[in-house]
């Protein structure tokens, strides 16, 4: 089936362009030879922090237009920053600009300020001031690119970004979470027409959420060059409407755009290849596309004995799209997809036909050292850590994630609840929602859309109307996935939930609302979009308001259950389908229950560096088959000898026995998904927990009272890296005693030196009240640990990262980059 999407006024253009056919023969040739390129455009930007008094150089009336190439954007000192004419390239003062590579978050480079009068919401943003910044890049476009379509794709800028090219205003994009794309073709200078200057103003003074959101061009940027006839932006939609063990039907929809003045007769070939690159199936169609028109072409292919996608076996396939004219490839495009079926029902989620409850965490996007400018490698690292905990689901709270996060989820195996930012059916709101849907609908990892989280209009009549429009659009762009929203009250006021495929419950355990609702509406499909919000500070066992620390031995906040207890409900009430614990990792901002000096949340099952807190083991016990026994606190309580202390634990064994220096302190029956506790007398030495299943000891954990700090021990997540200027080694540092035991209270200052083709891009330690800069060559350990992130340069070689601390033995990591 071929569907023509006629745009208004198109007919006239067709007639016009037929007349022009002969005249543009030369042009046709240019168009024919242009194949797609998608260049990473992250390198070599100049950055200016703060506002610039911008004036346009306007000559009385004559050059007043915003898109006139004579318009300059100038600083107070009358230096040109955006405009360069062909003879005079950027004569601007560069001293107050620094060179940066993207992704970049300038907010995380700032100093913490305890002043509730500045910024839009200081505590929510982790007391890091926001503001305005400018990015500028000079670049050349070769003469040979004349006749191509050239656009720039920003994956994410936080927020309100305005773009100028060579002094021309190109456009503005408000959302800090959806991508923006600008066609630069007409304004670019080609060959000896001169250099190009792109300028981006980022105004992050306003906020979109109540967490740390960062500032700047914090995701990748791409320069995309195609012929005038090309696959559209997010131009393919691949679904597998019928899947069986013997065959998967692959439905391929490809949108082709003809942005040229010439009628085109093309051949579209879609090749299905497997993960090893073996060609499985080829579909070919021919099509005529009139000038300035776009068509969607449908093709149906098949895969014999498909390897299904699941978090356990994330098998991927690709469609290689080729567009040919007169036998010559004029565009090529790649789409990754997976073959799987998933159904959210009122009796459980079924993945590939099997009951598959979702063991999920909700997460914001920032990480230690880098803020929201998260290198791809760190997104991989986070997903791997979650998987090790037994997690199979990720909720991108409360906004569309960066594309590389979804690629990691596809590749590593993690189901995603992909979330839109706002409840909005305005033109901008719809644009953002559509960008999310078109961008992400091929990812096998994405299993459901969430249209909003806890928006104030939830469940009132206006909100319900807005939602109806959004649900309609979502269903029409992607009829294959269910739609939910994450709600924290009401759950169907004004018929809100009736519009949804799945009702999302945040904290539905209060009054057992979700159970009562199931009894009332047994047909309702439900999901625990947010389960517990347990607060704790890694390695802390006493609440300390002054320092802003929350004990792991405590009970958290009123609206959150203990770690792992949330899973009990999913097991007891399978119709709840699955859950997302708030949150997998600590994030900057939303410091709860304390504010300053806290600058980071305490909700994470892991801290902001990915170091596990005690509650981590509750989830690992609940979600994996691995025998888990974990007891806490640490066993360094100098001064408390002979005093009563609490020891708590999480396990998936039947019973756990505790020994202090070899003497049993008694056995505890484990009630699945519940914490257990002893009260014992503290004696330094060895705390040992043994887990038994059917009477047999199957797991143990030993914690010893350590001696004084004696050495710095490094552990890198990898030893060999790519010399691509992007790859990152995540190096965890532990402070140990002379016998190699962790010192769980150590806070020694660790200094880093680096040699070779790499650089330190950030540090962290998981201390939610640390006001040390993340961008530094040193970091204090927090309760025994800190972290340094090392990014490669583009030259291959050997990076030596040394970590030392006064009076302690130092250690060096050797990383090979190739
Ligand atoms: C939820 C909200 C989250 C976070 C959490 C803290 O209600 O959706 O964004 O604020 O509370 O407990």
Which are the contacts of 492, defined by CB distance < 8 A and separation ≥ 6?
A: 459, 498, 503
Q: In the predicted model, is pLDDT for residue 31 greater than 90?
A: no
Active site residue 530: yes
CATH code of residue 523: 3.20.20.80
Residues near 502 by Cβ (< 8 Å), separated by ≥ 6?
Answer: 344, 448, 482, 483, 484, 525, 526, 527, 577
488 lines ligand 1 (CB under 6 A): yes
**Residues 748 and 804 both lie in one domain:** yes
Pocket of ligand 1 contains residue 533 by CB under 6 Å: yes
Buried b / exposed e over 86-117, threshold 16 CB at 10 Å, is eeeebebeeeebeebebbbbbbbbbebeeeee
pLDDT tens-digit readout, 623-637: 999 999 999 999 999
Same domain, 90 and 197: yes
Centroid of ligand 1 to alpha carbon of 641 (angstroms): 40
By CB atoms closer than 10 A (0-12, 13-18, 19+), residue 802 is: middle
* Atom 6 (ligand 1) nearest CA: 533
Q: Is residue 349 part of a domain?
A: no
Beta partners for 701? 689
The tokens for 304 are 């014999």
Predicted confidence at residue 540, as pLDDT, reads 98
Q: How far is the CA of 419 from the centre of ligand 1 (A)?
A: 14
Domain count across the chain: 5
Mean pLDDT to the nearest integer, 669-683 = 97
Q: 798 and 663 share a domain? A: no
**Section 348-362 average pLDDT:** 98
Note whether residue 658 is domain-resident.
yes
813: β partners: 801
What residues are paired with 242 via a beta bridge?
249
Q: What is the pLDDT of residues 306-323, one digit of tens each?
A: 999 999 999 999 999 999
Q: In this structure, is the dihedral angle defined by the CA atoms of residues 113, 118, 119 and 122, taken in order, positive or negative?
A: positive
Residue 270 counted as domain residue: yes
- Predicted confidence (pLDDT) at residue 291 exceeds the cutoff of 80: yes
Confidence of residue 194 (pLDDT cuts 50, 70, 90): confident
DSSP SS3 for 280: strand
Q: Residue 81: pLDDT above 70? A: no
Q: What is the pLDDT of residues 151-168, one digit of tens each?
A: 999 999 999 999 988 878
Query: What was the pLDDT predicted at 65?
Result: 43
**Dist. CA 398 → ligand 1 center (Å):** 10
What is the per-residue pLDDT for 616?
A: 98
Is residue 495 in some structural domain? yes
Confidence of residue 56 (pLDDT cuts 50, 70, 90): low
- If asked whether residues 183 and 159 sit together in one domain, one would say yes
Q: Work out the pLDDT band at 195, boundaries 50, 70, 90.
A: confident
Q: State the Cα–Cα distance between residues 692 and 669, nearest whole angstrom.
A: 10
Which range of residues forms the domain containing residue 247?
229-337
Q: 389 and 497 share a domain?
A: yes
Instruction: Give the Å distance between the CA of 56 and the centre of ligand 1.
Output: 44
Give the H/E segment covering residue 411. Answer: helix 403-412
The whole-number average pLDDT for the span 511-515 is 93
- Residue-wise pLDDT tens digits, 764-806: 999 999 999 999 999 999 999 999 999 999 999 999 999 999 9
Q: Are residues 400 and 519 in the same domain?
A: yes
Pocket flag, ligand 1, residue 534 (CB < 6 Å): no
Lowest mean pLDDT segment, chosen from 15-19, 190-194, 203-207, 500-504: 15-19
The DSSP element (H or E) to which 735 belongs, if any, is strand 728-736
10 in a structural domain: no
Closest CA to 650 of 627, 681, 666: 627
Average pLDDT of the chain is 91
pTM here is 0.94
Domain match, 671 and 556 both = no
Same domain, 170 and 265: no
> Binning pLDDT at 50, 70 and 90, where does residue 77 land?
very low
Q: Which runs of E-coded beta strand occur in 307-421?
A: 317-325, 328-337, 342-345, 348-351, 354-355, 358-363, 393-396, 415-419
Burial class (CB in 10 A: 0-12, 13-18, 19+), 762: buried
**Region 192-221 average pLDDT:** 94
- Catalytic annotation, pick one of 109, 454, 657, 688: 454
Q: Is residue 351 part of a domain?
A: no
User: How far, in Å, CA of 401 to CA of 407, rounded?
Assistant: 11
Note whether residue 390 is domain-resident.
Answer: yes
pLDDT digits (tens, 9 = 90+) for 590-620: 999 999 999 999 999 999 999 999 999 999 9
Ligand 1 contact via 452 beta carbon (within 6 Å): no
Question: What is the structure's pLDDT at 93?
Answer: 58
Residue 652: give its domain's CATH number. 2.60.40.10
Does any domain span residue 381? yes
Whether 647 and 595 map to the same domain: the answer is no
On the question of pLDDT at 19 being above 70, the answer is no
Chain centroid to CA 195: how far?
34
Report pLDDT for 328: 95
Q: What is the pLDDT of residue 558?
A: 82
Report whether residue 582 contacts ligand 1, using a CB cutoff of 6 Å: yes
Residue that finishes a domain, picked among 608, 627, 646? 627
Residues linked to residue 311 through DSSP beta bridges, in sequence order:
none
Q: How far is the CA of 617 from the centre of ligand 1 (A)?
A: 22
530 lines ligand 1 (CB under 6 A): yes
The answer, yes or no, to whether any atom of ligand 1 lies below 6 A from the CB of 455, is no
Q: Under 8 Å CB-to-CB from 479, ≥6 apart: which residues?
A: none
Query: Among 673, 704, 735, where does a domain finish?
Result: 704
453 C-alpha vs ligand 1 centroid, how far in Å?
9
**Maximal C-alpha separation, the chain:** 97
Q: Tell me, what CATH number does 149's domain have?
A: 2.60.120.260
Confidence of residue 441 (pLDDT cuts 50, 70, 90): very high
Residues 715 and 685 in one domain: no
Domain boundary among 170, 193, 226: 226
Check residue 22 and give its pLDDT: 33
**Same domain, residue pair 402 and 331:** no
Catalytic residue among 530, 590, 688, 701: 530
Q: Which residues contact 568 (CB under 8 A, 6 or more apart)?
A: 672, 673, 674
By most ligand atoms within 8 Å of CB, the mutation choice from 454, 527, 594, 595 for ligand 1 is 454
Ligand 1 contacts CB of residue 453 (under 6 A): yes
pLDDT score of 119: 61
**Rounded-to-integer distance, Cα 742 and Cα 783, Å:** 9
- Tell whether 92 and 209 lie within a shared domain: yes
User: What's the rounded Cα separation, in Å, for the pair 477 and 434?
Assistant: 8
């Amino acid at each position: 089936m071929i569907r023509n999407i006629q745009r208004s006024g198109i007919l006239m253009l067709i007639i016009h362009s037929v007349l022009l056919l002969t005249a543009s023969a030369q042009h046709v040739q240019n168009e024919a030879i242009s194949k797609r390129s998608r260049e990473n455009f992250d390198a070599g930007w100049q950055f200016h922090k703060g506002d610039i008094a911008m004036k346009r150089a306007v000559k009385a009336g004559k050059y007043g237009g915003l898109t006139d190439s004579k318009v300059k954007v100038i600083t107070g000192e009358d230096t040109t920053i955006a405009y360069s004419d062909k003879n005079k390239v950027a004569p601007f003062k560069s001293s107050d600009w620094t060179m940066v590579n993207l992704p970049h978050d300038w907010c995380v480079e700032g100093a913490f300020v305890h002043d509730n009068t500045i910024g839009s919401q200081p505590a929510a943003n982790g007391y890091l001031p926001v503001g305005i910044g400018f990015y500028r890049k000079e670049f050349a476009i070769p003469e040979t690119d004349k006749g191509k379509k050239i656009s720039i794709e920003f994956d994410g800028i936080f927020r309100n970004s305005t773009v100028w090219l060579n002094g021309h205003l190109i456009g503005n994009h408000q959302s800090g979470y959806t991508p923006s794309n600008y066609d630069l073709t007409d304004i670019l200078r080609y060959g000896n027409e001169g250099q190009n200057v792109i300028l981006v103003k980022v105004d992050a003074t306003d906020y979109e959420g109540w967490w740390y959101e960062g500032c700047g061009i914090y995701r990748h940027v791409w320069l995309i060059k195609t012929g005038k006839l090309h696959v559209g932006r997010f131009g393919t939609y691949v679904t597998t409407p019928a899947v069986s063990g013997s065959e998967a039907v692959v439905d391929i929809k490809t949108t082709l755009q003809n942005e040229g003045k010439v009628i085109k007769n093309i051949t579209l070939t879609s090749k299905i290849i497997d993960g090893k690159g073996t060609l499985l199936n080829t579909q070919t169609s021919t099509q005529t596309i009139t000038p300035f028109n776009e068509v969607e072409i449908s093709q149906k292919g098949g895969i014999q004995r498909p390897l299904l996608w699941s978090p356990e076996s994330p098998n991927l396939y690709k469609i290689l799209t080729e567009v040919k004219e007169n036998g010559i490839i004029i565009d090529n495009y790649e789409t990754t997809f997976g073959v799987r079926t998933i159904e959210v029902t009122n009796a459980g989620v079924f993945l590939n036909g099997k009951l598959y409850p979702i063991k999920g965490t909700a997460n914001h996007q920032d990480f230690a050292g880098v803020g929201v400018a998260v290198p791809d490698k760190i997104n991989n690292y986070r997903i791997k850590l979650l998987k090790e905990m037994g997690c199979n689901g990720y909720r991108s709270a409360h906004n569309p994630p960066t594309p590389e996060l979804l690629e990691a989820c596809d590749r590593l195996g993690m189901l995603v609840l992909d979330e839109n930012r706002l409840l909005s059916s305005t033109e901008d709101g719809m644009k953002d929602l559509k960008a999310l849907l078109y961008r992400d609908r091929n990812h096998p990892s994405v299993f459901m859309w969430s249209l909003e989280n806890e928006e104030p209009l939830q469940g009132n009549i206006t909100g319900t109307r807005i939602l109806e429009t959004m649900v309609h659009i979502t269903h029409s762009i992607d009829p294959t996935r269910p739609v939910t929203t994450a709600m924290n009250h009401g759950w169907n006021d004004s018929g809100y939930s009736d519009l949804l495929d799945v009702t999302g419950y945040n904290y539905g355990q209060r009054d057992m609302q979700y159970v009562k609702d199931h009894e009332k509406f047994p047909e309702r499909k439900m999901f625990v979009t947010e389960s517990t919000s347990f607060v704790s500070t890694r390695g802390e066992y006493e609440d300390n308001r002054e320092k802003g620390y929350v004990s792991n031995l405590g009970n958290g906040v009123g609206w959150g259950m203990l770690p792992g207890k949330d899973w009990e409900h999913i097991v007891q009430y399978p119709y709840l389908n699955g859950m997302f614990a708030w949150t997998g990792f600590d994030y900057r901002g939303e410091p709860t229950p304390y504010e300053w000096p806290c600058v980071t949340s305490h909700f994470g099952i892991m801290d902001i560096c990915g170091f596990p807190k005690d509650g981590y083991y509750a989830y690992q016990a609940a979600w994996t088959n691995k025998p888990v026994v974990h007891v806490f606190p640490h066993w360094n309580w100098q001064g408390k000898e002979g005093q009563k202390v609490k020891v708590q634990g999480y396990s998936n064994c039947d019973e756990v026995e505790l020994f202090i220096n070899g003497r049993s302190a008694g056995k505890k029956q484990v009630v699945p998904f519940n914490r257990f506790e002893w009260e014992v007398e503290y004696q330094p030495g060895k705390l040992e927990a043994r887990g038994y299943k059917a009477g047999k000891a199957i797991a143990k954990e030993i914690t010893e009272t350590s001696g004084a700090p004696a050495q710095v021990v490094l552990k890198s997540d990898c030893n060999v890296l790519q010399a691509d200027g992007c790859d990152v080694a995540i190096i965890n540092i532990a402070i140990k005693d002379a016998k190699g035991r962790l010192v769980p209270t150590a806070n020694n200052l660790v200094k880093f030196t680096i040699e070779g083709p790499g650089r330190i891009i950030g540090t962290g330690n998981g201390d939610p009240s640390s006001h040390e800069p993340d961008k530094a060559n040193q970091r204090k350990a927090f309760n025994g640990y800190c972290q340094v992130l090392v990014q490669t340069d583009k030259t291959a070689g050997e990076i030596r990262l040394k970590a030392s601390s006064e009076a302690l033995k130092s250690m060096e990591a050797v990383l090979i980059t190739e």
